[in-house]
């Protein structure tokens, strides 16, 4: 029986776990009411019986907690890590692929963890903005929490959570390395909000400046970076194709 152990069964990893179980895998992991991360005996027991290991745990206080606590037990032939396209930093809207340098952006700890997983022979999945059921522009629009920010030229990429799961499955027999999993149409956030308003049948929020929007520091930092993510390597090497190639198909699937 093929067995996958996942560190951090949160929103994205839980979708991956469900997809893997549908493929006939046994899946265990930490978080989400499963094995407590701090229970070393049970975690190490789970790792000892696993054939594959995937981590979705981000760095905390500058340290990757999985590598720090369980790195000595990660001797598996297949390792996976859910990273972020934030490792590329700001590219002023230019396209970026896996050959681009990392570590120059605001997520230095994430870039260091990304590099360490690669050194350990992992498949590293670099993810842009993640959306899906219960976590999308449609939800923010319906809750009255959506913003349209007046930042001409600001562009970013996104990916439906189910397409991440399909990408991980596609990489089970793939070479070690980094893979960008993003959709085919990077665009400004305003276009996504406007489409969500159209689908939900509600008025668009007003167009505001960054200062007028009074965003949280984390949300404001999101707008400080501007890049288009290329998914060409994932298509070429993994044979992966997003089932939701743009935000339009993705949002329609959530109505």
Cα separation, 35 vs 51, whole angstroms: 18
> What does the pLDDT average to over 73-101?
96
Phi/psi-derived region of residue 33, left when phi > 0, alpha when psi is between -120 and 50, beta in every other case = left
Q: What is the pLDDT of residue 123?
A: 98
CA atoms within 13 A on the CB side of 45: 7
Contacts of 164 (CB under 8 A, 6+ apart): 12, 15, 16, 82, 125, 127, 130, 181
Q: Mean pLDDT over all residues of the chain?
A: 95
pTM above 0.85, yes or no: yes
Q: What is the pLDDT of residue 211?
A: 87
Q: Which residues pair with 52 in a beta bridge?
A: 4, 78
Q: What is the pLDDT of residue 164?
A: 98
Intra-chain end-to-end CA distance of the chain, in Å: 37
> What does the pLDDT average to over 107-125?
95
Gyration radius from the chain CA atoms:
18
Categorize the per-residue pLDDT at 236 as very low, low, confident or very high, splitting at 50, 70 and 90: very high
Residue 1, helix vs strand vs coil: coil
Look at the domain 77-254 and name its fold.
Answer: Rossmann fold (3.40.50)
Categorize the per-residue pLDDT at 223 as very low, low, confident or very high, splitting at 50, 70 and 90: confident
Say what percent of the chain tops pLDDT 90.
88
């Amino acid at each position: 029986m093929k067995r996958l152990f996942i560190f951090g069964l949160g929103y994205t990893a839980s979708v991956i776990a469900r997809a893997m179980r549908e493929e006939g895998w046994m899946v265990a992991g930490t978080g989400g009411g499963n094995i407590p991360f701090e229970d070393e005996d049970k975690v190490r027991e789970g790792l000892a019986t696993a054939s594959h290991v995937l981590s979705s745990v981000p760095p905390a206080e500058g340290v990757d907690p999985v590598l720090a606590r369980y790195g000595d037990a990660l001797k598996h032939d297949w390792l996976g890590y859910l990273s972020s396209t934030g490792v590329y930093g700001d590219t002023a809207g230019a396209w970026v692929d896996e050959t681009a340098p990392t570590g120059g952006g605001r997520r230095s700890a994430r870039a260091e963890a990304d590099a360490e997983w690669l050194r350990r022979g992992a498949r590293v999945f670099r993810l842009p903005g993640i959306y899906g059921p219960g976590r999308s522009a449609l939800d923010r629009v319906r809750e009255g929490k959506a913003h349209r920010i007046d930042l001409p030229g600001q562009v970013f990429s996104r990916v439906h959570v189910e397409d991440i799961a399909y990408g991980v499955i596609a990489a089970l027999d793939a070479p070690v390395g980094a893979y960008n999993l993003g959709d085919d149409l990077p665009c400004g956030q305003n276009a996504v909000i406007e489409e969500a308003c159209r689908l939900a049948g509600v008025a668009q929020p007003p167009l505001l400046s960054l200062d007028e929007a009074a965003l949280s520091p984390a949300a404001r930092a999101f707008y400080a970076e501007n890049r288009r993510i290329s998914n060409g390597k994932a298509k070429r090497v993994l044979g992966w194709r997003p089932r939701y190639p743009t935000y339009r198909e993705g949002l329609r699937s959530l109505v």
